[in-house]
Amino acid sequence: MDMGQLDAVQIRVLGVLIEKERTVPDTYPLSINGLLAGCNQKSSREPVMELTEGDIIAAIDALKQNGWVIDHLSARVAKYSHQFGKVLQIPSQSVAALAVLMLRGPQTAGELRNNCERLHRFADISAIEAFLQELAERPSGALVKLLPRQPGSREPRWAHLLAGDVELPIASHLPSSENQLGLLTRIEELEAQLAELKSEFVALKTQLGA
């Protein structure tokens, strides 16, 4: 299955279904209203979204076509459950880790372990790193990748690949070599101007007899 088929709303819906299955099993499967509340939740979400009922329904319809989600019809209201682990053929520990990445964005292994606590309790960082490594080296296609460590960060972050590869903005806290040369040139110019102003000031004081 082409991972690029999943968009941001579909990923949020899947993440919420996985999360709520484990944290509030009594209300799972979820109704459209339950999904809407979970998707627009302000806490434990990055980014925070403001989806409509129509957005949720469209995402559910697309996910059902590809087997990610199944519905449970009843006399009162339709409810939905995910088939995430079954579709990808990965263990529940990996499902938990991916769900948190889907809901909260890129994280370090330590952050991910802490944030996974309610979905699955990993014994230590090395335990979650082992599952992440398996997901990154999956023969049928990587599901996560380790991002380059950003300037000012002590540890690299992991990101999911369910919407395709992760493109990082080209940014740096330090100026490039070309910019550094430009800054040095500008500093020299300002120093020269300052020296000229000092010379003119001294000459002016002399003329005034100060």
Give the burial string for 94-123 (b: 16+ CB within 10 Å, else e): bbbbbbbbbbbebbbbeebbebbeebbebe
Tell me the pLDDT band of 1, cut-offs 50, 70 and 90. Answer: very low
Helix axes 92-104, 125-136, angle to 10 degrees: 90
Number of neighbouring beta carbons within 10 Å of residue 10: 22
Quick one: pLDDT at residue 173? 45
Q: What architecture is the 94-171 domain classified under in CATH?
A: Orthogonal Bundle (1.10)
Q: Is the pLDDT of residue 185 over 80?
A: no
Tell me the pLDDT band of 176, cut-offs 50, 70 and 90. Answer: low
d(CA 43, CA 37): 11
Give per-residue pLDDT as tens, 11-23: 999 999 999 999 9
What is 1-89's CATH number? Answer: 1.10.10.10
39 class by beta-carbon count within 10 Å (0-12 exposed, 13-18 middle, 19+ buried): buried
Are the CB atoms for 96 and 120 separated by under 8 Å?
Answer: yes
Residue spans of the domains in the chain: they are 1-89, 94-171, 173-209
pTM of the model: 0.78
Quick one: pLDDT at residue 205? 76
